[in-house]
Amino acid sequence: MASPLGIIVSAIVPILLILAAGFALDRAQDIDPGPLNTLSLFVLTPALVIHSITLTDLGAGTLLRITAGVGAFIFGLLAVSWLYGRATGKEDAVLNTFLLVAVFGNTGALGIPLADFAYGDLGRQTAVLFAAVHGALVFTLGLFIALNSDDEAGATVLKRVLRYPLVYAVGLAIVARAAGVVPPADSALMETLGLVGEASIPVMLLILGIQLSETEYRGALSMTVTPTLFRFGVSPLVGLVVAVALGFQNAVVAEVFVLLTAMPVAVAPVIFVVEFAGDTTVGGVRLPEFVSASVFVTTLASIPIVTVVIALLKSGIVI
């Protein structure tokens, strides 16, 4: 089994230090994360996606398996979460908010750097594709859930999805790779994309640190137990079932796939809930506070939990 101390030093500590820098900077300077988030969404992350997918060492079959696997994982976890939510009496905006925090993990800002630090270049390539497909589902299925689905919601979802270049970046990279028109890795274009894309990893972590600093969570801490159990218990179990069913031939790809299903609550649901259910309360707590608390608690809890997960995965016991 891989040494927990080695995992902490090589994978967790660098992430924690960058998160802490963003957290401390916001407390000292009151940073607005909006421009940084826009930069990441519209420039840095698309560059990372294009560079990683076009130059990936992953075969076409593996790319298809990862894409199909992410879809199967999300819809499988959504079904389990919905059944639990209905069984416990959750309805309407409360149920939709629970689905958002239970189903969608932070596969981008935390998952990509973690896979990079823990598994190297192949781990990052796998995580980028996973996060790209997951991100597309967050901004389609996630918005659909937040909007509670009606005729107007469908048009709203489409308009919002088309605003983000992530979908276009994935499509462009796949088409270029399939058509065999990818420029050489040492060309000026690809080196530029690589340089810009590499910047996305520390920027995403800084943004997450800033957002955690601004989180209003104290009144909702007691409500985060169930989301934590779903993110670190139910979610990786569903991910493991999907990974075994897909039969990845590369052990690193399989391990990174399962690892990314054990991420803390994604930040995007905070934005969705503030916009579409900001005034709704449950147990005297506003839903945005519940989501923010879930992000805060699961992100902190992920440090020891993910260390154990990586150790188990690298041991070969799990998959």
Q: Could you tell me which residues are beta bridge partners of residue 285?
A: 282
Q: Is the pLDDT assigned to residue 28 strictly greater than 90? A: yes
Amino acid 2: pLDDT: 55
For the segment 63-89, what is each residue's pLDDT rounded down to a tens digit? 889 999 999 999 999 999 999 999 999
In the chain, what percentage of residues exceed pLDDT 70?
A: 89
Mean per-residue pLDDT of the chain: 85
Residue 275 binned pLDDT confidence (cut-offs 50, 70, 90): low
- Domain of 266: which CATH number? 1.20.1530.20
Q: Which residue has the higher pLDDT, 11 or 214?
A: 214
Q: Are 202 and 281 in contact (CB under 8 A)?
A: no
For the segment 175-223, what is each residue's pLDDT rounded down to a tens digit? 888 888 999 999 999 999 999 988 988 887 888 788 778 766 666 788 8
Q: Is the pLDDT assigned to residue 54 strictly greater than 50? A: yes
The token pair that represents 37 in the structure block: 């988030």
Amino acid identity for residue 258 in this structure:
V
Amino acid 110: pLDDT: 86
Cα separation of 289 and 296, whole Å?
A: 10
Q: For residue 255, what are the contacts with CB-CB under 8 A and spacing of at least 6? A: 119, 313, 314, 319
Q: Beta-carbon neighbour count of residue 165 at 10 Å?
A: 17
Cα torsion for 128, 247, 298, 209, to the nearest 10°? -10
Q: Are 268 and 139 in contact (CB under 8 A)?
A: yes
> Total structural domains in the chain?
1
Between 129-138, 234-243, 267-276, the lowest mean confidence (pLDDT) is in: 267-276
Cα separation of 111 and 261, whole Å?
A: 9
The token pair that represents 258 in the structure block: 């399962």
Q: Could you tell me which residues are beta bridge partners of residue 282?
A: 285
Its domain, for residue 216, covers 4-315
Q: Are 130 and 256 in contact (CB under 8 A)?
A: yes
Amino acid 177: pLDDT: 84
For the segment 95-146, what is each residue's pLDDT rounded down to a tens digit? 989 999 999 999 987 898 889 888 998 999 899 889 888 887 887 788 778 7
Q: Which residue has the higher pLDDT, 125 or 272?
A: 125
